[in-house]
Amino acid sequence: MLAFIYHLAGDSFTLGFEARLTSPETFRGQRAWQYHVSGGGEHDLLASVAASYKVTGDLFVGASLSHQNTFLRLRYVRDTVLDDPQGPGAPCGATACGFGNPDAAEPWDVDASSPTLSISNLKVNIGVMYQVHRDVWLGVAYHTPSGFAVQSELGGHVTIERSQRDQAMGDPGEIVGQSVVEIQLPASVDAELRAGLPHDLELHVGGRWEDLSRLAAYDVRTYGSTLPRYGIPEWTERPRGLHDAFAGWAGVEQRYHGQTDQLLLFGARAGFETSAVSTERTSPLTVVPASLTLDLGAQLRVPGGLIAQLSYGLQYFPTVNVRASEFDPRSRVECTASGYDYSTRACAAVRNGYAIAPAAGTYDRIEHTLRLGLRYDFP
């Protein structure tokens, strides 16, 4: 991240600029869960301009405009018998394929990103900070999703390795086409209360709400002159199954008074986050149960305006045991048998992308981040 802040004369107006690369969400790949995800990840690059105005001594308002570029790499394996008219009875050599047969496995590699420069990449952040009592401040901010449409569109290409059974029938080993991934990014609202404490300490209590239910799935579309010829589906839904989540935290920090002998300052906070996906919809692509967070930070203030900051964050997700997974390839067979009656539960699972290999199992997850920052205050 690179940022610059400038205070205009009179200290009523402040301008800022920021460019940063977000921490990537990495999709781990293993053969055991290849039908859900076999690699890839998602990250964002943002450039922002911001301004704030001191309305009164107790009230500040601010806003920023960000240009967000999203980069998505999605790798997974398609079980080709699911789209075969014969279903699991389709032949793999001399026997029926069934579900999850390696001879019917078709690896996909989708590489897509948002346009380099586009109005659809813009997002707005609006905030207000008010002193509700002496030495007690409340800040509230709203963050819009990218673009001014219902969903964002990522464009790129797709590389498909044909399954062994398809190659045995004369199909080429690899097909390359164009891809479009449509996603609905979430908005969020956060608030924090800051209050002075004895012994030059400050209390921070905050919370955040995200409407993650918008990000229900990656909607993958493919097109190209050769794809229909070889029976490649034009549309594939890769479910994430997220629902809205809330986070809360509380912590204590040392207060800086501008004294030259305050070389080291410390802070810490602990928090929690509610689950963002139900146990039944948990999969190797999305493991987000309720979690606990811990953040520690230290600041070194060197005389002359140089400031060094070091922080460490830890997020612990308790073990998730999935026994009744919503993912079930038999839903495809049941939907076909119903004559594609989309009022049935089986066809709803097909439409929403859950008619693939089961995701039952035990999931463990832990995240941690170490950040180092340098800041210089010009005279």
337-341-347 Cα angle (round to 5): 80
In tens, the pLDDT along 284-317 reads 999 999 999 999 999 999 888 899 999 999 999 9
Instruction: Give the closest residue to 270 by CA, choosing from 339, 220, 219, 316.
Output: 316
Rounded to 10 degrees, the C-alpha dihedral 365/218/191/377 comes to 80
Domain ranges of the chain: 71-376
Mean of the pLDDT values across residues 183-203?
Answer: 95
Beta bridge partners of 153: 182
pLDDT in tens, 247-258: 999 999 999 877
- Helix (H) / strand (E) containing 337: helix 330-337
- Contact yes or no for 263/308 (Cβ under 8 A): no
Element (H, E) at 248: strand 245-254
DSSP state of 162: P
pLDDT for 209: 98
Q: At residue 41, does pLDDT exceed 90?
A: yes
The pLDDT score that the predictor gives to residue 379 is 81
pTM of the predicted model as reported, rounded to 2 decimal places: 0.90
Question: Rounded CA gap, 44 and 126, in Å?
Answer: 20
Q: What is the pLDDT of residues 207-242, one digit of tens each?
A: 999 999 999 999 999 999 889 888 899 999 999 999
Q: What is the pLDDT of residue 371?
A: 95
| Alpha-carbon torsion (329, 331, 337, 341), positive or negative | negative
Q: What is the pLDDT of residue 325?
A: 95
Please, what is the average pLDDT of the chain?
A: 93
The CATH number, out of the four listed (3.90.226.30, 3.40.50.2000, 2.40.160.60, 1.10.1790.20), of the domain defined by the range 71-376: 2.40.160.60
- Give the CA distances from residue 256 to residues 27, 218, 259, 299, 377, in Å, rounded to whole numbers and listed in that order: 41, 46, 7, 10, 14
For residue 250, the model assigns a pLDDT of 99
**Given this model, what pLDDT does residue 305 score?**
87
CA distance 307 to 13: 23
How does pLDDT run across 10-25, given as a tens digit for each residue? 789 999 999 999 988 9
* pLDDT above 80 for 101: yes
Beta bridge partners of 44: 70
